[in-house]
Amino acid sequence: MKALPPLSVLDLVPVPQGARPADALRSSLELARAAERLGYTRYWVAEHHNMTGIASAATSVVIGYLAGGTSTIRVGAGGVMLPNHSPLVIAEQFGTLASLYPGRIDLGLGRAPGTDQTTLRALRRTPQAAESFPDDVQELQALFAPARPGQAIQAVPGAGLEVPLWILGSSLFGAQLAAALGLPYAFASHFAPDALDDALMLYRRHFRPSKQLERPHAMVGLNVVAAETDDEARRLFTSQQQAFANLVRGRPGPYPPPVDDIDAYWTPAERQHASRMLACSVVGSPATVREGVARFAAETGADELMVVSAIFDPAARQRSYEILADVAGLGARRVEAPASAAV
């Protein structure tokens, strides 16, 4: 098998039914330690608000918790929804993290709110805040750059740390911005795959080298549920299928346990909608996962894969990442950084 690109972990810190956010956070730390031991490159968490099934709303706090409990793996945001915050506050937060854990912090930036419109108002933001996203990204870059003489506003800590930024997206907008600014790009194909091919093509074609990055670096999201058999993996995958059906119904909640018959749970319309969102998924035994992940990597030409294994039982979730690491040969190789010392 041709060597796979570097593999990283996206953890939404799911709160299973019957558990508490504190339980989910502890499970995520255990998984981060396992990911470090197994040879994954990054461990990212994402900002979501007012969702009882996700415990990563205070994203920078969670990153500090995970980074403090590990020692070598890069830890970061996949991502921070920048329109919800001032660039100065994010520069201070991630400058603090980079000061505490030098060389290990990533900052992925998205322009979606990470929530619904009602919660957006509770965050004291307006939908129009997303329109300033490109300017806010550049303001953040300036805050991480070395302070200039007489500079009136500085991030302390933050100035001069040049925390590596990523642009996240599921549309052509993010691809265009990442290319124009010369930043690495992460595409959310694990839940919004429709524009994947066009976005990658646009990003690579229009990329402009920058101080942070010499050539394009595209990371692509992929759901992977691995187990000892195909049948077992398909059953574990029903938790994620139910969760997406619940989103379609407008009733998200704690992460559901697997079921024996997913077709008894969702309607044909819900199945069609959820299956389209989950089209970039590899589910099965070690052999099935090896073949599926290799095919996806070849089709996308991804420089890195960001893997989501959204499984109800924490032990089964960790086992899924162990199987993937084994079939990918992560333990037998050390991953090189992208074409820049900063990323």
Structure confidence by residue, pLDDT tens digits, 284-306: 999 999 999 999 999 999 999 99
Residue whose C-alpha is closest to residue 278's, from 309, 313, 321, 318: 309
Phi and psi, residue 223, nearest 5°: -80, 130
State the residue for tokens 């979730």. 317
Class of domain 7-122+135-145+155-328: alpha beta
Q: Comparing 115-124, 200-209, 264-273, which segment has the lowest mean pLDDT?
A: 115-124
Going by their DSSP bridges, the two strands 185-187 and 105-110 should be labelled as unpaired
- pLDDT value for 114: 60
**Entry field: residues in the chain:** 343
- pLDDT value for 200: 98
Average pLDDT over residues 105-121: 83
Q: How far is CA 248 from the centre of its chain?
A: 21
Residue 33 pLDDT exceeds 50: yes
Q: What would the two tokens of residue 229 be? A: 């058999």
**pLDDT band at residue 332 using 50, 70 and 90 as cut-offs:** low
Locate the domains of the chain by residue range: 7-122+135-145+155-328
Q: Comparing 111-115, 155-159, 164-168, 194-198, which segment has the lowest mean pLDDT?
A: 111-115
- Give pTM, 2 decimals: 0.93
Q: What is the dihedral of CA 190, 12, 88, 124, to 10 degrees?
A: 100
Q: What would the two tokens of residue 264 be? A: 């008894």
Residue whose C-alpha is closest to residue 163's, from 82, 81, 77, 83: 77
First to last CA, the chain: 27
d(CA 24, CA 16): 8
- Where would I find the beta strands (DSSP E) of 69-217? 74-81, 105-110, 165-169, 185-187
